[in-house]
Amino acid sequence: MRFIRKLGLALGLGAAIASSSALAQQAQFITVLTGGTSGVYYPLGVSLSQIYGKAIPGAKSSVQATKASAENLNLLQAGRGEIAFTLGDALSDAWKGNEEAGFKVPLKKLRGVAGIYSNYIQIVASADSGIKTLADLKGKRVAVGAPKSGTEINARAILKGAGLSYKDLGKVEYLPFGESVELMKNRQIDATLISAGLGVSALRDLATSVKMIVVPIPADVVTKINDPAYIAGTIPANTYEGQTASVTTVAIENFIVTHESVPTDTVYKMTKAMYENLDQMVAAHTAAKAIRREEGPMHMPLALHPGAEKYYREVGLIK
């Protein structure tokens, strides 16, 4: 009897271990790489993580705040994340291996998931700085984004297109959105360049504290940049408090990307879940209003992940 009881306990324990092992194997860890907490990537990433947690059985999703594009892509290449947000020009640089942009070798493990919405280069200056044009940035204190971030890559391109460089500025601060806005509030810098969706919270906050000017980026500057990732755009009037007229600027498409080692079925489910729950992303940030499924597989500067490709074929966007 005692032997039978021990045998039953052993079998029960074995079954529990086997069941636990099976559950561990089924669990899919999904780390969403975003950006600074005051930007657009972060709230959208939180929303995506919540969507994945509900829509994908066994998914253990989490969000990681980062320095955005360049860091996200390098983390994906190293397998330290499953999905990430990035700017299109940084993604193109990573795929090719542009060392100046922070990519010593081509990041060939990356795979595309979706084109989402456009970032707008938004250069704002305090009204009392006297800055009204790009040329007025000469000799001024300017924040250009975190080092090697997508924003900082954008800053170099915009200045170059305008015939300027960091040497022409009075002082260059390498800071993410939130920190640069705090310095502007305290009159420690004159202007900041932010690459984000329209209505970014950091600038909405700044506009309520400091009278600011949104500096236009003329179409001829876009032409001189000579990069297909950069297209002419407009910041509509009243996007920010006190901005009563529309302002010409530059737009750059954002992408969601993954890496080749993430299972096909997982990426398929992530892609499908995002498009089926866009209302939740819009609730997280209005930038998500611009996400269109029909445009998801378009303009990819790298290979699509097989899981994303499976979804786009299923809905007839890829033949």
What confidence tens digit (pLDDT) does each residue in 75-94 have?
999 999 999 999 998 999 99
Rounded CA separation 52/56 (Å): 5
What pLDDT sits at residue 171? 97
The encoded tokens of residue 207 equal 């506009």
| Nearest partner of 107 among 143, 138, 78, judged by Cα | 78
Structural contact between residues 258 and 305, judged by C-beta atoms closer than 8 angstroms: yes
Query: Mapping DSSP to helix (H, G, I), strand (E, B) and coil, where does residue 286 land?
Result: helix
Output the six-digit token pair for 306.
């097989």
Token pair, residue 280, equals 């939740």
pLDDT in tens, 190-249: 999 998 888 888 899 999 999 999 999 999 999 998 887 888 999 999 999 999 999 999
pLDDT tens figures, 99-155: 888 899 999 999 999 999 998 999 999 999 999 999 999 999 999 998 878 889 899
pTM given for the model: 0.77
Q: Is the pLDDT of residue 177 over 70?
A: yes
Strands (E), 109-181: 110-126, 141-143, 171-173
| Average confidence score pLDDT of the chain | 90
Check if the beta carbon of residue 183 is closer than 8 Å to that of residue 208.
no
Q: Is the pLDDT of residue 36 over 70?
A: yes
Q: What is the pLDDT of residue 256?
A: 98
Strand-strand pairing, 191-196 and 83-87: unpaired
User: For residue 233, which phi and psi values (nearest 5 degrees)?
Assistant: -145, 175
Domains and CATH numbers, the chain: 27-117+254-314 (3.40.190.10), 119-252 (3.40.190.10)
Q: Is the pLDDT reported for residue 283 higher than 50?
A: yes
